[in-house]
Structure 1
Amino acid sequence: MTQDSTTARRALRHLPLMVIAAVALAGALLLRDAISFEALRAHREALIAYRDAHYLLSVLGFTALYVVIVTFSLPGALVATVTGGFLFSTWPGVLYNVLAATIGATLIFLAARWGLGARLAARMDEGAGRLRRLKSAIDENQWPMLFLIRLIPAVPFFVANLLPALVGVPLRRYVISTALGIIPGALVYTSVGAGLGAVFAAGETPDLGVIFAPHVLFPILGLCLLAALPILLRPYRKGRGL
């Protein structure tokens, strides 16, 4: 294989991730105001009328737009989640939100793994010292770590999408943990969207900080603790030879 062909193959592997990065940058500069609560407020009557007249097309269009937003890390993912509740109620809105977010997260995961993740994970496996120990610790705790980065509200969604691809997480494990791990947050914000009509009628803005309210945050932290138990108990189990 010639050097030129090797370079071309490497460039091809990086192309999806480069496209995602370019679109994300353009979206951050151009779409900040396009996907917003102000835009939703201005077009809410037209959106509701279209949903009532073409429900299936509304679901498909909403899901496709949400997938694009997540795949390219565009601004407005949180607005999209709330919009899912506004248009389709808490149920089945949360189902559409979780489905679309999982598909978009999986696409960016695949792009990152194809471009960088596979080689980086292989180098970590072949490494020595601290790098090898770090990779071994990650491999031993993949399930709890995957759930933790989804459940902890402070972890940015795009970080939780990219990080697993860079440490060699299997696709099936990533998809399952993503779909299940985002349910609590999606349920909270979808329910906020379900009450958005009354908020708009009162001329107010939805409270997106509700996830940090004690009655919401404490159960989520409880789930985080439950997800972290295997990591916390592993040294004890090793000491007991279990």
Structure 2
Amino acid sequence: MEMDRMDGTRQGQGGFGRFGRLAPALAVLALFVAAWLLGWFDYVSLSNLIMHRHALAARVSDHFAVALVVYFFVYAGLVAVSFPGASLLTVTAGLLFGAIAGGSVTVLAATLGATCIFLVARSSFGDVLERRAGPFVSRMVEGFNRDAFNYLLFLRLAPVFPFWVVNIVPGLVNMPVRAFVAATFLGIIPGTFAYAFIGAGLDSVIAAQEQANPGCAAAGTCSIDPSALVTAKLLLAMLALAVVSVLPVIVRKWRAPGNAG
């Protein structure tokens, strides 16, 4: 009887432990679903930014510090729930706060948000995902196992991987938090400031559209393609930085004893 009670207690504790590990991930999922159902993500669009930019700029001008703090926490929260349109918010920051202030606060907020979802992934479902990962994730895991810091730095600099994926995968290999924070902070600086500078010059793009189609800004009908704001030169520059980031790994592998001679 006593042994049965002890076994039942262990099973209950095991179930509670599993739920406790999943609780952070479930909370993030609940926030994402709630935001989607309430239509919050719909507000983050280029047309809305164009329509309301003057009102937003006036509020920021009157309460610059408060607006900066609010933006910081909103951005960090959206990154933490893996919101897919964070780059547009970076453009918004450049438009409202200027390229330097907007880019700086975005780097800090993105690093905080990325670290939050990284910790959630590592504590909640890292072991499960590693066992069930497909070939794409498995290749990324192999890269992290070889040289976590430089590999993450490469993934941050290379504009070819979704930001939220790169936040979660390091949790599969229990990457040290300090290395994750440092590689994320350094790796997102070029791309973040590139988008912030795009935002700082967005008014001139809108003005050109207004000349071709008067009243389009107020009506939200200006035909500005967000992808057109990112030039080929910008992508090539970021790719070059990504290649530079993995040079230490390549050199180390080339100089390994097995490759000598």
Q: Paired residue for 1:226, among 204, 222, 244?
A: 244
Q: Paired residue for 2:192, among 181, 186, 201?
A: 186
Report the structure number with the largest CA radius of gyration.
2
Report the counterpart of residue 128 of structure 1 in structure 2.
none
Q: Paired residue for 1:36, among 37, 45, 50?
A: 45
In 2, are the aligned partners of 1:150 and 1:178 still within 8 Å (CA)?
yes
Against the structure 1 CA distance between its residues 53 and 18, is the aligned structure 2 distance closer, same or farther, given a 3 Å change threshold? same
Q: Paired residue for 2:153, among 117, 126, 147?
A: 147
Deviations 1:71-125 (A, max 9, x none): 11124311111111011111111101101111111111111111123x46998xx
Corresponding residue SS for 1:33: helix
CA distance in 2, matches of 1:82, 1:137: 31
Report the counterpart of residue 69 of structure 1 in structure 2.
78
The letter for the 2-side match of 1:103 is: L
Tell me how far 1:21 sits from its aligned partner. 2.2
- 2:237 is the counterpart of 1:237: no
Report the counterpart of residue 101 of structure 2 in structure 1.
92
Identity of aligned residues (%): 35
Report the counterpart of residue 198 of structure 1 in structure 2.
204
Corresponding residue SS for 1:2: helix
CA distance in 2, matches of 1:208, 1:120: 36
Tell me how far 1:44 sits from its aligned partner. 1.4
Against the structure 1 CA distance between its residues 137 and 56, is the aligned structure 2 distance closer, same or farther, given a 3 Å change threshold? closer
Aligned residues: 233
- 2:208 is the counterpart of 1:208: no
Report the counterpart of residue 22 of structure 1 in structure 2.
30
Against the structure 1 CA distance between its residues 220 and 122, is the aligned structure 2 distance closer, same or farther, given a 3 Å change threshold? closer
Corresponding residue SS for 1:74: coil
Structure 1 stretches of at least 4 aligned residues deviating more than 4 Å after TM superposition: 119-123, 134-137
In 2, are the aligned partners of 1:120 and 1:167 still within 8 Å (CA)?
no
Q: Paired residue for 2:115, among 106, 124, 127?
A: 106
In 2, are the aligned partners of 1:86 and 1:195 still within 8 Å (CA)?
yes
CA distance in 1, matches of 2:250, 2:154: 13
Deviations 1:32-56 (A, max 9, x none): 4211112212221221111111111
Q: Give structure 1 stretches of 5+ with no counterpart.
A: 124-133
Tell me how far 1:136 sits from its aligned partner. 7.3
Deviations 1:170-189 (A, max 9, x none): 00000000011001110111
CA distance in 2, matches of 1:52, 1:45: 10
CA distance in 2, matches of 1:76, 1:218: 22
Report the counterpart of residue 129 of structure 1 in structure 2.
none
Against the structure 1 CA distance between its residues 113 and 141, is the aligned structure 2 distance closer, same or farther, given a 3 Å change threshold? same
Q: Paired residue for 1:58, among 67, 72, 77?
A: 67
Q: Paired residue for 1:81, among 90, 96, 103?
A: 90
Q: Give structure 2 stretches of 5+ with no counterpart.
A: 1-8, 132-139, 211-221
CA distance in 1, matches of 2:84, 2:63: 26
Tell me how far 1:139 sits from its aligned partner. 2.9
